[in-house]
Amino acid sequence: MKIRPTGPAAAVALASALSLGLTACGGSDSGDAAAASGDSTSSSTTPSSSMSSDAMSGAASQTFGPGCSAIPASGAGSFDGMVKDPVATAASNNPLLSTLVTAVTKAGLVDTLNGADGLTVFAPTNDAFAKIPKAQLDKVLADKATLTAILTHHVVAGQLDPSSVAGTHTTLDKDEVTVTGGTDGMKVDGANVLCGDIPTANATVYVIDTVLMPPAA
């Protein structure tokens, strides 16, 4: 992986690009205290975001994939728990995504993701991050500009259900990812979807088995 230059100028440029991307996609201001605390709700009309109380009690019913059984059956990290929280908070409660949460925190993206109004997040598991050699992963985690680019490469605007997620999408890193297949087998570029269409308060999550790398990384 080629590490991008770091420094104040690079960080400011990436932060500005992310802010513009969220604004263009209808995202809320990441500085909004209420949104960052998880009080925001999505205005999307897709099934994942406009759920009744009955649907919330059975959030698992809309999910698919061979890895869904690994999601906790109860508690804040379960399907019914995650649907109540904005996406970064929901991920922090799921033991399969602790490395991703560490990366999001180091990049300073928690409030940005929690405050956004409707996202689709391709979330690599801990095992996905473990595929990266430790020295290389440590170097990326210490490089905020490169880390931000990689993480925003995993996020697209809008809450996309399985019928609308297939195709090529522009990410918040201003590059593209391509989703192929359906609920019987889905890929995001070269990564397999282990569990898809997981609802959170402001995002739809597809858990994947490989970290996606942007073209310039």
Tell me the domain boundaries of the chain: 8-208
Structure tokens, 86: 């904005």
Percent of the chain topping pLDDT 70: 73
Helices and strands of the chain, counted as H and E runs: 11, 7
Residue with tokens 């019987």: 184
Which among 173, 208, 200 is positioned nearest to 59, based on CA atoms? 200
Q: Cα–Cα distances in Å, from 202 out to 19, 56, 91, 139, 177?
A: 17, 13, 12, 31, 21
Q: What is the pTM of this model?
A: 0.75
CATH fold of the domain at 8-208: FAS1 domain (2.30.180)
Cα(4)–Cα(147) distance, rounded to whole angstroms? Answer: 9
pLDDT in tens, 129-154: 999 999 999 999 999 999 999 999 99
pLDDT digits (tens, 9 = 90+) for 71-108: 999 999 999 999 999 999 999 999 999 999 999 999 99
- Dist. CA 40–CA 114, nearest whole Å: 8
